[in-house]
Amino acid sequence: MYDDPTSCCSLSHRIRRFAEYERVKETEMKRLSSINSSLWVSWIQQYLLRHNSFWDVREDGKGSWIWRKQLKLRPLAAQFIRFEVKDGHTAFFWFDDWLQMGKLLAVAGEVGTYYLGVSRSARECVPRDEYGCDTVLWKHSEDNYKTHFSSSKTWDQVRERRDKVGWSKSVWFPQEVARYSFIVWLAVKNRLSTGDRMRAWGIQQGCVMCEERDETRDHVFFACPYAFTVWDKLAGRLCDGNIDPDCSITLQFVTSNTLRIMDKILIKMVFQTCIYICGRREMTDAIRKVSAVWINQLSSVQGRSQVC
């Protein structure tokens, strides 16, 4: 489901890319090219395609929401599907890539059907009954097509690559709590609703923990005396007193340190929990809340290690 966790692209961009990719998958688009792969495909071919090519049918508003989305994604899906013609009863002459050169209609133009005398809905390409049924191939990499679908190979081709960021291992790691990682990710990207950002909306908001009027991301994590006390009390011993109120320095230490493996995991868990609690401005007994969450996480990590 994730884009490269070290990517510096926005979460909304990642979700949008993932949604596009999920709609270009074998279980829906590739199966449409098969005659009798499922009852759903048979119904689509009978009532929506009416035995025309999936690549040629018009967007007339009929069908379900997901069907209409499938139609809109045809240009993207066409880059991944190729036919290996055998009996010639499945592949469409003009619209399926059976010559490894794309659609013939795009090569010959609309007048090609007139000059060759082949209808738009013609299926028989180069029939070779002795080899069995036509085979639908899915693109795994450049010039590498296989009969099965691979989600990882497809995603690797459609996703947009960005430069890796050093702080990713402090946000995304196996022992993370998803909602905590999300808040930490927002904090690192400076997208939390702190006072300096809220002023752009005409809202005056100070720090509710120390009443500082100029509330910023760097103030909350952990220049604020209250937030720094929480961080110091919980992480001081793990860090051997190497505690700094500067957000960038703290993030760099959590990401790159010389602690033991278990201590590395613990410092990340404490860091994320402190960010989560302080980010939500839960002032009342914050140290107790963070400690309770930390103990639960530690028990979970120990339980998984015993199972392994």
Work out the end-to-end distance of the chain between its first and last CA atoms, rounded to an integer number of angstroms.
24
DSSP H/E element including 197: helix 195-198
**Boundary (domain end) residue, out of 137, 158, 179:** 158
| pLDDT tens digits, one per residue of 55-78 | 888 888 888 888 888 888 888 888
The single-letter code of the amino acid at 160 is: E
Residues 144 and 248 in one domain: no
Structural domain for 209, as ranges: 168-307
Residues 127 and 206 in one domain: no
Residues 135 and 68 in one domain: yes
pTM above 0.75, yes or no: no
State the pLDDT at residue 128: 63
Query: How many domains does the chain fold into?
Result: 2
DSSP assignment of 166-217 equals TTHHHHS-TT--HHHHHHHHHHHTT-S--HHHHGGGT-----TTT--SS--H
Q: Average pLDDT by consecutive 10-residue portion of the chain (308 residues)?
A: 43 49 49 64 84 86 86 89 84 87 87 84 68 85 89 86 88 91 94 89 87 91 91 86 89 92 91 88 58 62 48
Confirm whether 5 is domain-assigned: no
